[in-house]
Structure 1
């Protein structure tokens, strides 16, 4: 589901997976994780892997 991560703050909702591309946060089993800080490195590694293949 792509939505604002504030949706996961609702105590009644049970979010299994959610991603917020604007805030660069994903929610997995109710826990929020920042992916913005590692995104550039993941993109760099993916580009390097594409050059090998």
Structure 2
């Protein structure tokens, strides 16, 4: 949360991870998950990549 909050609106952040729709389950804390996703997804370009 600190890293995302510090970079929000100032620098580019590239994240490779699990699909966004399961982040709440992975993070486990709904308030932190909402805050992180809000900052990452707002004005973001999302590309879903298929695995090999």
Query: For this structure pair, what is the TM-score category when the shorter chain's length is used for normalisation?
Result: under 0.3
Q: Which has the higher contact order (CA 8 A, sep 6+)?
A: 2
Give the structure with higher Rg (CA).
1
Higher helix share: 2
Higher strand share: 1
Q: Structure 2 length as normaliser, TM-score?
A: 0.26
Q: Structure 1 length as normaliser, TM-score?
A: 0.26
